[in-house]
Structure 1
């Protein structure tokens, strides 16, 4: 009996720590690292729910119920965020279709040496209309093959500044530019525009800093929001946001820049979890552009991120 009591006490202590982490993932951002927990909220809540079952089998029924209740509230909180996102997207998607095009986005990973040829082969096989790449320097050995299939692009003119790259089958406007989101990692946002099937579309590629670098990612999102708000017409923004669409930083960005999320949230990190991972690489649109399908690429091809490909639909205004 004494041993069982000690085990229950140990499980309770660990459960309190786990519950505190889940609560922190749902609360306002006050401490370093809390923004990272926000992107992990659904995973942490499910983990706490599983842990509550373990506590239940130890004989601590009321403690298990309390932990399960905290997990359930956290899951409901995430649903409370996701459901309005999907309702807003569905309302735009219900309008009559004008045209469609495909966009592929992939963080190659700076240290992903030796996979340049197969990655470019994959991109060419996918045959998307627009391709956005982050940490793209490892593709420089095969960059000319990519530029032959996608003759219009911006980014990676120099190896030293090769991070964010946008290439397109259709011409980009002369005003297209590579810019800074912040000072810690420069030249990580591209503002471009192209006429696709007779319709002008703003194309934006972004690579935000990881959220555990204090509040740099919050400042970068503000810069991105200002840039997006200066664009007229349909907007598609894709890239590595290092945060999930239910994190406070991206919720704020979506609200202040009038953005819509995709119809699904395919996991991109860690790659071992596939679609069950965290969707830190994603896409957003502004009406009359809307994402009607989005999926993760099955093979990370040496990267620590999965790529994503989406069908973008332009609808009547």
Structure 2
């Protein structure tokens, strides 16, 4: 019985490893979707293979442990590869631009007041709200602190992606990155610390809609690559920074991540979730801190708050 149970576990682990490792040989979209879970799958497979080895000591479960560890270690290496360079010197007292990015869930109307209060008390200079429909009735209150807005009636008919700011947003533009999802990116400029900072708020489709997510990231990268100077990008990418198309997007644009990206989805996953909401920067901007909001307030995502500084 122990032998057959060990064999059954090994078969399942082998299939999962083959699926997770497919990213290294093919670029099919379904494997791209799974790539966001590579670290989670590697840890799960390692534990399962160890259990199979305990049940029946043989070469196969030992090899599967090694393969699972290799997948996990490479996932960790990939996360470090896209991390921003450390800042020289102490930047604790440097002025910071605070950004909040939060997918509040379009059906989350009962928590609109709490989300409004959270935004107003956040101290954020710029707020990206995704699936912003619940806040349509709160725009008046939000405008008391954030008089500048793009989205939800300002340059868009829909109320999905919205950018709020305490200071003027110049050169605003709204872009549909594919035919499947309208108004998926908002671009604007913000004057800060004597520099013009390019801002981009992005909401991509989910990765299991064929190749549409990769198409959207490609279109976004083309537009962002034309922008020179400081660039701050945030939003719901529906994929972790491990996904091949996200890595392509980061390489193309020169954007980098914080040293650690908090998991944001699903909300019930807590700290075992997947970081699919991101804040990315391009030099000379630097992410001094990146934190997850303490509560999802009824959304299926946790929001993020980042303090951004200019590198000396």
Query: Which residue of the partner structure matches residue 226 of structure 1?
Result: 222
Is 2:80–2:259's contact at 8 Å kept on the other side of the alignment? no
The aligned counterpart of 2:240 is 244
> What's the offset of the Cα at 1:281?
0.2
The equivalent residue for 1:83 is 80
Unaligned runs of 5+ in 1: none
For residue 266 of structure 1, give the secondary structure of its aligned residue in structure 2: coil
Shift of 1:118: 0.3
- Aligned-pair CA distance for 1:138: 1.1
Name the SS for the 1:238 alignment partner.
strand
Cα distance in structure 1, aligned partners of 2:311 and 2:95: 7
SS at 2:269 equivalent: helix
1:228, 1:70 → 2: CA distance?
A: 38
User: What TM-score, normalized to structure 2?
Assistant: 0.94
- Measure how far apart 1:27 and its partner are: 2.2
Aligned 8 A contact 2:287 2:308 in 1: yes
- 8 Å CA contact retained: 1:263, 1:293: no
Aligned to 2:95: 99
How much is the aligned-residue C-alpha RMSD, in angstroms?
A: 1.8
How far did residue 74 of structure 1 move?
0.5
User: Which one of the candidate residues 59, 63, 66 is aligned to 1:62?
Assistant: 59
TM-score (norm 1): 0.92
Match of 2:163 among 166, 174, 192: 166
1:4 is aligned to 2:2: yes
Structure 2: gaps spanning 5 or more residues: none
Encode CA deviations 1:79-122: one digit per residue, 9 max, x unaligned.
22122323xx124x327756321100000111112110000111
Deviates more, 1:195-204 or 1:216-225: 195-204
The residue aligned with 1:31 is 28
Residues 107/289 of structure 1: CA separation in 2 closer, same or farther (3 Å cut)? same
- Is contact 2:96–2:307 with CA below 8 Å preserved after alignment? yes
Moved over 3 A (4+): 28-32, 95-99
Give yes or no for contact 1:275–1:296 (8 Å, CA) kept in 2: no
- CA offsets per residue over residues 189-231 of structure 1, 9 Å max, x none? 0001111243321111000111111110111011111111121
Post-superposition offset of 1:67: 1.2
* Correspondences of 1:1-317 after superposition (within 5 Å): 3-24=1-22, 26-86=23-83, 89-91=84-86, 93-94=87-88, 99-157=95-153, 161-173=158-170, 175-316=171-312
Cα deviation, residue 28, structure 1: 4.1
User: 1: distance between equivalents of 2:293 and 2:199?
Assistant: 21
Q: 1:210 to 1:32 in 2, by over 3 A?
A: same
